[in-house]
Structure 1
Amino acid sequence: MDKKTCFTAETIQTRLSANPFAKLSDIVLDIIQEAIINLDILPGEKINMTAIAESLNVSRAPVREAINALVKEGFVVEKPNVNGYYALDISDKYMAEFFMARSTIEVAAIRICAARFHSIDCRHLKECCDVFRRCYKTNDYEAFVAADRDFHGSLVQYTGNSFLINMYASLNRTIAHYYSLSRYYLKNYGSRDIFNDFELLINEHLAMYNAIRTGLVDCAASTAQRHLDTCYSSFVHYYLTKGVR
């Protein structure tokens, strides 16, 4: 954990200046959660409440309150048997449930997009596909991950369905965590291990785009489901094999 960049008293003051009425423990919660999402605190790493309180120049009370709230949200795990709190570690079960939720929302979203393809910004979706392919070829993994997130998020936004959009928004922090893990893996291992899988992902994006622009509703849904299954199996196979340590 790099306390110099993650936890500073200046961060607290900046956020209080932006919102003087914010509860201190809520600010601390956001800071710790962002550190977990951005992998400044690694999966499974023990969280040192005393060190965080000292770095933020606050008492332990708001840190303890923030940690307890993060336990309820699932980003922190309490381990009484080893006396401590730990950042969420990624398991096969966790990823299976996450992708089940994503599939439920995204497959419904792509069906709507394909059914209304005349009003969908297909040009933007094609641009995402092109950036996705180009950036993987050039090892620009930051832009690669950004294009992937843009593509999937756009499909949900284009539905105009407020319920689907809000359901997807509820996954935002978990999605951000997933992409941080993906970015970490790509930067450290790149195409040495996973070139074929990512060629498949690129082609599946194009297949989804083509199904939408031609109004093939059932094809779009089955392609999206297959793509998300590929994402899940690739992540579990490669990430959980090597992990982030």
Structure 2
Amino acid sequence: MADIEQQDRKGKLARPSSISEGVYDRIYERIMALEIAPGARIPIDALARDLNVSQTPVREALSMLEREGLVRKAHLIGYSAAPQLTRKEFDDLYTFRLLLEPEAARLACRNMTPEALARLETDAADMGRGEPPVDRNSRYSRFARADAQFHDDILAIGGNQVIRQALADQHVHLHIFRLMFHSRVTQEALEEHERLLVAFREGDPEAAHQAMYDHIDRSRARLLLAYE
């Protein structure tokens, strides 16, 4: 989100530029950091008290998170965090990504313009920056969001809207980043993104295809540790 709420010393929300966006950010960070466990119920009244806000912005934030696939709403039960990916779902998702994203990177390289490359460079810089004040949870959750933006921008530059929509519908990055809350996930991804950027700068579609394939394959290997 563009506007990040200010926090008081107790961690409560204090005069956010948008209360609903501030609440969204806080709940999103807790889900991504597994402070709200996969499958756990999210009682609106308790969350509102914890964040020191009314129930209305909490409901609005949970509605946004539901559209992103991070929470679910059941009749007469209410909201809960989306369940974690099963091992089968994880394997299927990465097989799907390996089929689509390397080709999308090759297409993006062929369509690359100086303006498009500048956008990807900005995305990559945003991932590495982690602007203060940022705690470990917010740094990781912001990285997940920036990583999703980086990959989506590559898909947009590639120009194949079917591939882009198919991956967007899976909420790929939000779900895989919930599997493991670890700095290794972010540091190695930054290095692999740089390989992609080198291929884009050099205008080498085959190198872009290979760099994306390697990035996704290594991401799969890193996150398999979550199932051990």
1:99 lines up with 2:94 in the alignment: yes
Cα distance between partner residues in 1 of 2:195 and 2:117:
13
Do the aligned partners of residues 6 and 128 (structure 1) sit closer, same or farther apart at CA in structure 2, a change above 3 Å counting?
farther
Q: How does 1:151-190 map to 2 (within 5 A)?
A: 151-172=150-171, 174-179=172-177, 181-182=178-179, 185-186=180-181, 190=182
1:156-186 residue CA offsets vs partner (Å, 9 max, x unmatched)? 11122222223223323x543334x15xx43
The answer to whether the 8 A contact 1:126-1:206 is kept is: no
Q: Which runs of 5+ in 2 are unaligned?
A: 1-40, 49-54
Do the aligned partners of residues 55 and 101 (structure 1) sit closer, same or farther apart at CA in structure 2, a change above 3 Å counting?
closer
- 2:214 aligns to what? 226
- 76, 100, 104: which one pairs with 1:53? 76
1:129-163 residue CA offsets vs partner (Å, 9 max, x unmatched)? 12222229974112211111110111111122222
TM-score using structure 1 length = 0.58
- 2:42 aligns to what? 2
Q: How does 1:53-132 map to 2 (within 5 A)?
A: 53=76, 88-118=83-113, 121-132=116-127
1:67-122 residue CA offsets vs partner (Å, 9 max, x unmatched)? xxxxxxxxxxxxxxxxxxxx644333221110111222211110011122236611
Q: Which runs of 5+ in 1 are unaligned?
A: 16-29, 42-46, 57-86
- 2:227 aligns to what? 240
1:229 Cα deviation from its structure 2 partner: 0.8
Percent identity reads: 17
TM-score using structure 2 length = 0.62
The answer to whether the 8 A contact 2:106-2:158 is kept is: no
Do the aligned partners of residues 157 and 4 (structure 1) sit closer, same or farther apart at CA in structure 2, a change above 3 Å counting?
same
The answer to whether the 8 A contact 1:116-1:215 is kept is: no
Do the aligned partners of residues 155 and 35 (structure 1) sit closer, same or farther apart at CA in structure 2, a change above 3 Å counting?
closer
The answer to whether the 8 A contact 2:152-2:164 is kept is: no
Between Structure 1 and Structure 2, which shows a larger proportion of helix residues? 1
Figure out how many residues of one structure are paired with residues of the other and give that number. Answer: 174
Cα distance between partner residues in 1 of 2:154 and 2:192:
14
1:38 lines up with 2:70 in the alignment: yes
The answer to whether the 8 A contact 2:196-2:211 is kept is: yes
Cα RMSD of the aligned pairs, angstroms, is 3.7
In terms of Rg, which structure is larger? 1
Cα distance between partner residues in 2 of 1:6 and 1:155:
40
Do the aligned partners of residues 120 and 6 (structure 1) sit closer, same or farther apart at CA in structure 2, a change above 3 Å counting?
farther
- 1:71 aligns to what? none
